[in-house]
Chain A
């Protein structure tokens, strides 16, 4: 048991979440091929919830064993994780019995994923080019992505946002908005 605990506390921290992700991918792939194709999204999501519960439950065995007056740190997380496993299983059973509605029709998923990618780029961009440039570019590109074609208007909104965030957040609220590695190097800060 002790060796299991030390494994969970060590390499298990990486392997277990990866294993959970594999279970989700496998469930999704199998569902898409078989007769449950219409429910593939639901199955993947419920499998993900099940995996979260299972992984969390196992990870509690890696907590340092400490107890005070009969109470330890793993009881409550284990309780919630166990409950999540049970409830996610109940959901999966419902889906496999066909008692649930099929997956919702997909809308413009491409736009959503592009938007998420844009947001990730913005977060990365802040580190390099700073908040002001990346925020201005983000508002402009995001508007374009959503189909707004009035470019001068969009540029005005982006510029307005940058000015607003500078005056309200930086000057008024004293939030130290990042200047970025690039700008810091140029300005010699």
Chain B
């Protein structure tokens, strides 16, 4: 009851010009970022973080969360219209969305993707509101051993993040963990790997590293391909939008996918892409005409988009309650919160409940704004795809540089951003996945501090002395082993 009152109060406080404008701006930026191929949701959020430095922390969080929410939907626009998913998670939307557009039913596909995004987003947010508080309460009873095991559980998700190459993902994650040890030791104050450089005493600033890894590396990859041909959207986008009855017929597809998306999103590292594939596969199994999937089935679009958007709420559950980001974008969001001196985790619920309520309320409001803007501006969003990459890329570089500089007004951070951009490009070039590296950097501090605290309290076997910790470690082992074994089995099957 108290939570509901808090939520209503927060919603009331957001009903003024500044927050509403910020949510709307976030939704627009998110849709545009998602619609631009080459700009991922995490990149969109990372590039916008510098704009929030001077903002009130709650407004900053609301703005960035709105971008995250909308970017996942934005990715579907280009997936449907030009078969170029703006985000990796929109790949599945293109399976049936683009064939529908080619049949002259682009309005139908865009309508379904928008409404499914709205439904999925709403369900994900409701789950976030219902389960985050009790989860946070349970987390407050955790000891350092449990926190260390929790960090290990977060890291175990690299197995599913790296797809078929778990070894490369593991290397990425360990590299992230090692980078995290640069700077002053958190317990004894010993300088580690600083080479006498004062800039390294506090380690690397998180945002320049993220911008370099996610934004610059992606642009370097695109520049190496050097294929800047613009894709054009035909008149099919002008096609008629469906009626309410049409959407009502798809309600079960949307509901099923939303539940799957939320659940998958909760697991750290699983992310929206995996959620969309599972939901699409599930929908195909439920369908009486599975052979028509891939040729323009609205159910396919509904399933992909509902699970995609539902995973946003899901991914925020572990980030807010346990301090473990559920996706790469959630990791960026977490970094942004830290910049504003807010430490995601159970204490956030006790120390700043009003902030949490504001976030929940803003997500609900943002979802409605996204629906309105999506209905009104679909033709406008499509124009984003016409921005030439030769113009877009210099601006991304310029954004990245100024964004990195703005963190501490330091040219060192600009150099760090460029350095990590090059490292990210090289790693990507040879098939190393970058989200595990980011995850390693995010969870490294938590893992080290709690392992050492636990060892100080109960000795070297501390993490095996508490049942909660052992259970979490077992879950971690399973969540690492299952995707690896599944990938191996799939490989063997493919060979035979």
> Is the CB–CB distance between A147 and B395 below 8 Å?
no
User: Which A residue sits closest to B414, measured CB to CB?
Assistant: A123
Contact of A80 among B174, B391, B426, B455 (CB under 8 A): B174
> Is the CB–CB distance between B394 and A143 below 8 Å?
yes
When each residue 82-112 of chain A gets 1 if its CB lies under 8 Å from chain B and 0 otherwise, what string results? 0110011011001000000001101111011
Residues of B within 8 A of A64 (CB): 190-191
The stretch of B85-93, B125-133, B175-183, B369-377 that contacts the partner chain: B175-183
> Is the CB–CB distance between B405 and A138 below 8 Å?
no
Residues of B within 8 A of A165 (CB): 398, 402
> Is the CB–CB distance between B223 and A108 below 8 Å?
yes
Residues of B within 8 A of A63 (CB): 190-192
User: Which B residue sits closest to A134, measured CB to CB?
Assistant: B401
> Is the CB–CB distance between A80 and B177 below 8 Å?
yes
Contact of B430 among A45, A76, A115 (CB under 8 A): A45
> Is the CB–CB distance between B51 and A157 below 8 Å?
no
B140 within 8 A of A: no
> Is the CB–CB distance between B224 and A87 below 8 Å?
no
> Is the CB–CB distance between B54 and A147 below 8 Å?
no
B418 within 8 A of A: yes
Q: How far is the CA of A77 from the CA of B178 in the complex (A)?
A: 6
A71 within 8 A of B: yes
> Is the CB–CB distance between A123 and B51 below 8 Å?
no
Residues of A within 8 A of B223 (CB): 108, 111-112, 115, 146
Give how many A-B residue pairs fall within 8 Å (CB-CB).
Answer: 172
Contact of A111 among B168, B185, B226, B406 (CB under 8 A): B226
> Is the CB–CB distance between B397 and A87 below 8 Å?
no
Contact of A157 among B50, B395, B447, B452 (CB under 8 A): B395
A13 within 8 A of B: yes
Q: Which of A37-90 contact B (CB under 8 A)?
A: 41-42, 45, 49, 52-53, 56, 59-60, 63-64, 66, 68-77, 80-81, 83-84, 87-88, 90
- A123/B388 contact (C-beta < 8 A), A73-B192, A139-B395, A168-B51 known: no
User: Which B residue sits closest to A64, measured CB to CB?
Assistant: B190
B305 within 8 A of A: no
Q: How far is the CA of A143 from the CA of B429 in the complex (A)?
A: 23
> Is the CB–CB distance between A49 and B175 below 8 Å?
yes
Main secondary structure, interface of B, reads: helix
> Is the CB–CB distance between B167 and A90 below 8 Å?
yes
- Which of A80, A111, A142 has the most B CB atoms < 10 Å from its CB? A80
Q: How far is the CA of A107 from the CA of B391 in the complex (A)?
A: 20
Contact of B391 among A72, A148, A173, A177 (CB under 8 A): A148
Residues of B within 8 A of A106 (CB): 224
Contact of B393 among A69, A94, A142, A178 (CB under 8 A): A142
> Is the CB–CB distance between B394 and A84 below 8 Å?
no
Contact of B390 among A148, A168, A172 (CB under 8 A): A148
User: Which A residue sits closest to B220, measured CB to CB?
Assistant: A112
A175 within 8 A of B: yes
> Is the CB–CB distance between A126 and B411 below 8 Å?
yes
- A115/B220 contact (C-beta < 8 A), A63-B190, A66-B190, A142-B393 known: yes
Residues of A within 8 A of B429 (CB): 41, 104
Residues of B within 8 A of A173 (CB): 50-51, 53-54, 406
> Is the CB–CB distance between A45 and B395 below 8 Å?
no
A169 within 8 A of B: yes
> Is the CB–CB distance between B405 and A175 below 8 Å?
yes
Residues of B within 8 A of A115 (CB): 220, 223, 397
> Is the CB–CB distance between A146 and B394 below 8 Å?
yes
When each residue 8-32 of chain A gets 1 if its CB lies under 8 Å from chain B and 0 otherwise, what string results? 0000010000000000000000000
When each residue 111-152 of chain A gets 1 if its CB lies under 8 Å from chain B and 0 otherwise, what string results? 110011001101100110001000100110011001110000
> Is the CB–CB distance between B406 and A71 below 8 Å?
no
> Is the CB–CB distance between B390 and A56 below 8 Å?
no
Q: How far is the CA of A103 from the CA of B225 in the complex (A)?
A: 15
B246 within 8 A of A: no
Residues of A within 8 A of B177 (CB): 80
Residues of A within 8 A of B397 (CB): 115, 119, 138, 142
B142 within 8 A of A: no
B350 within 8 A of A: no
- A161/B190 contact (C-beta < 8 A), A81-B178, A108-B223 known: no
Q: How far is the CA of A154 from the CA of B398 in the complex (A)?
A: 14
When each residue 203-238 of chain B gets 1 if its CB lies under 8 Å from chain A and 0 otherwise, what string results? 000000000000000001001111010000000000
B460 within 8 A of A: yes
Q: How far is the CA of A108 from the CA of B425 in the complex (A)?
A: 13
- A175/B409 contact (C-beta < 8 A), A49-B171, A165-B398 known: yes
Residues of A within 8 A of B430 (CB): 41-42, 45, 103-104
> Is the CB–CB distance between A73 and B188 below 8 Å?
yes
Contact of B394 among A80, A88, A127, A138 (CB under 8 A): A138
Residues of B within 8 A of A59 (CB): 193
17 A-B contact pairs sorted by A residue (CB < 8 Å): A41-B429, A41-B430, A69-B455, A73-B187, A73-B190, A80-B177, A80-B444, A90-B167, A91-B171, A94-B167, A107-B224, A108-B224, A108-B226, A115-B220, A123-B411, A146-B394, A177-B405
The 6 closest A-B pairs by CB, nearest first: A148-B390, A142-B394, A73-B190, A107-B224, A69-B456, A73-B185
Extra contacts besides A87-B170, A111-B224 (7): CB < 8 Å: A76-B447, A77-B193, A112-B223, A116-B220, A127-B411, A153-B391, A175-B402
